[in-house]
Amino acid sequence: MAFQGTITCERGRIVSLIPSVGEVVIRSEAGIHTYPNAFAYPGFVDSHLHIFGYGMRITGLSFYEAQSAEECCELALQHTIFRGSWLVGMGWNQELWKNNKMPTKEMLDYYFPSIPVFFTRVDGHAAWVNSVALRLCGITASTENPLGGIISKDTSGNPNGILIDTAIELVRSFIPDFTYEQKSDIISASMNSLSSLGLTEVHDLDVYNDLLPIFRDGAERGTLPIRVQSYVQAQNDEWIHNGLLPAGGELHRISGVKYYIDGAIGSRGALLFEPYSDDASTSGIQLIDEKVLHDNYVRALEDGWQLSTHAIGDKGNSIVLELYSQLRREGIADNYSLLRIEHAQNVIPSEIELFHKYDIRAAIQPIHCISDAFMAEQRLTNRCSYAYPWKTLLDAGVVVGSGSDAPIESPDPRIGLDALVHRIPFNSTTPWYNHECISMKQAIDLYTSSAHSIADVGYRRGVLQPKFDADISVFDTNFESASRNEILNASVVATYVAGNKKYSKID
């Protein structure tokens, strides 16, 4: 799959490929660029991430590497950028801490007694807030849980500072928004970083309506360094309230609507058939009623949207698989209707066949597996045997695309390739359920042609051949013959979108 030789591009498409050994040469209207000892691939795609969130991670207050609640607070003390009077951060993960316990408001109250604080968990499905924030938002012992959310409480019945899933919105809605200029800067930083990692296109999930003009403006000016497929917010009919419809474009395309059936394993919000192994009091949270979700699907399909639904737990996946299958059987979703499940982390083996039978496509994030393996064993125990079922999906003929869920995880595709092929958790040397490992050829396919197929553009991208879009990722490594160490230490040499150089390591 790696190519060495000359690739000639005209008007954004590949015209010819002439193989040779030892270098990659890319010819286009912009000139001739030569990269010695390099290998060209179809442009790499991240099929599930959050551009704005990743931009916030690399430009704002983040706790992704923090080893304790105290370290989060110490980092926050050094931060000088506020949203109004609010201190906002992201990325804490109690699974990295020695005690593995959810934090509470008491520590935040000690460090920040007079300003409101709002810190979101690594998965985005929990928030840690202090007493000032709770008071400003009117959350008390008598506040009821919203549908699809939990206000965690202490033994006295008072809010303890942890909000799960939809309960987060009880606070988030009070936080002042960024300015348009700030949003533009955050998005620009995000996309430039993604391009430098070898990505030429991303599927941006759960996009806020007010971010779409930024992408549109960049596409019209030709300044976007990567192509963007936007899947817009839909859980609360946002696309209807904002008057949105699907819209095509070369650099930016408004493709689909995004729903959630459940939360995440780390915050015990993923919906399971049986209780969590380390907390028998809960089986997760269903975030939307099946009938409501079915009706929402029908309305979206009628307006030509692709459907995208977050499903992590085995019951969550089962519900969405049945609803999608029903849409196919009813003829509401025809052969041109694209149905995606985001994550598909826990799928009962007997239901895998539904993906293929009803052409339901999966967007997976291999880095979640190697990041969450030890936590997943605590939450799921024997259910891990059918968790992160990459090879099982492929063997069943399912169309699968790979991504990262950045900012939750790193969007670096080298880590994703390694995870797919070796499945070795962080801080381990042993493969985890290695019957689900796949070949490097398959892994590259999940980042290229298959990633385009789950967004319905595989007919024109994802392969280095004439008449296809000239989206090209150039690395210094032939991944198919590389050792694990060489994969993880490969360098991005350049990226091209529509034949235009968007990133180069050497200039």
Q: Are strands 159-165 and 199-207 parallel, antiparallel or unpaired?
A: unpaired
Whether 404 maps to a domain, the answer reads yes
Measured in whole angstroms, how far is the alpha carbon of residue 441 from the centre of its chain? 22
Q: Give the number of domains in the chain.
A: 3
| % of the chain at pLDDT higher than 70 | 100
Same-domain pairing of 326 and 397: yes
Same-domain pairing of 137 and 283: no
Whether 67 maps to a domain, the answer reads no
Per-residue confidence (pLDDT) for residue 389, from 0 to 100:
98
Same-domain pairing of 285 and 358: yes
Same-domain pairing of 166 and 183: no
Per-residue confidence (pLDDT) for residue 171, from 0 to 100:
97
Per-residue confidence (pLDDT) for residue 507, from 0 to 100:
65
Same-domain pairing of 313 and 443: yes
Whether 79 maps to a domain, the answer reads no
Residues 166 and 35: beta-carbon distance below 8 Å: no
Whether 72 maps to a domain, the answer reads no
Same-domain pairing of 354 and 223: yes
Domain's final residue, options 157, 172, 187? 172
- Edge-to-edge strand ranges of the sheet holding 87-92: 87-92, 117-121, 126-129, 159-165, 149-153
Residues 232 and 241: beta-carbon distance below 8 Å: no
What CATH number did the domain enclosing 6 receive?
A: 2.30.40.10
Residue range 82-109, pLDDT digits in tens: 899 999 999 999 988 988 899 999 999 9
What CATH number did the domain enclosing 221 receive?
A: 3.20.20.140
Task: Report how far residue 492's alpha carbon sits from residue 507's, in angstroms, rounded to the nearest whole number.
Answer: 13
Whether 76 maps to a domain, the answer reads no
Residue range 17-43, pLDDT digits in tens: 999 999 999 999 989 999 999 999 999
Inter-axis angle of helices 413-422 and 440-447, to 10 degrees? 140
Domain's final residue, options 146, 172, 198? 172
Q: Which element (helix H / strand E) includes 387?
A: none
- Residues of the chain predicted below pLDDT 50: none
Q: What are 308's strand-pairing partners?
A: 258, 340
Same-domain pairing of 166 and 281: no
Q: How many of the other CB atoms lie within 10 Å of CB of 255?
A: 24
Residue range 308-324, pLDDT digits in tens: 999 999 999 999 999 99
- Looking at residue 71, the DSSP 8-state letter turns out to be H
Q: How far is CA 383 from CA 155, 213, 278, 347, 366, in A?
A: 31, 43, 13, 9, 18
Domain's final residue, options 461, 481, 499? 461
Rg of the chain (C-alpha set): 22
Where does residue 77 fall: left (phi above 0), alpha (psi -120 to 50 degrees), or beta otherwise? alpha
Task: Report how far residue 506's alpha carbon sits from residue 230's, in angstroms, rounded to the nearest whole number.
Answer: 31
Whether 126 maps to a domain, the answer reads yes
Whether 74 maps to a domain, the answer reads no
Number of separate helices (H) and strands (E) present in the chain:
17, 21
Task: Report how far residue 113's alpha carbon sits from residue 346's, in angstroms, rounded to the nearest whole number.
Answer: 41
Domain holding 31, by residue range, is: 1-42+464-507
Query: What's the residue count for the chain?
Result: 507
What CATH number did the domain enclosing 89 receive?
A: 3.10.310.70
Residue range 117-134, pLDDT digits in tens: 999 999 899 999 999 999
Same-domain pairing of 219 and 134: no
Task: Report how far residue 51's alpha carbon sits from residue 205's, in angstroms, rounded to the nearest whole number.
Answer: 8
Same-domain pairing of 398 and 263: yes
Same-domain pairing of 138 and 190: no
Task: Report how far residue 54's alpha carbon sits from residue 408's, in angstroms, rounded to the nearest whole number.
Answer: 8
Of the candidates 310, 355, 359, the residue with the CA atom closest to the CA atom of residue 334: 359
Same-domain pairing of 455 and 469: no
Same-domain pairing of 322 and 393: yes
Whether 68 maps to a domain, the answer reads no
Q: How many of the other CB atoms lie within 10 Å of CB of 316?
A: 31
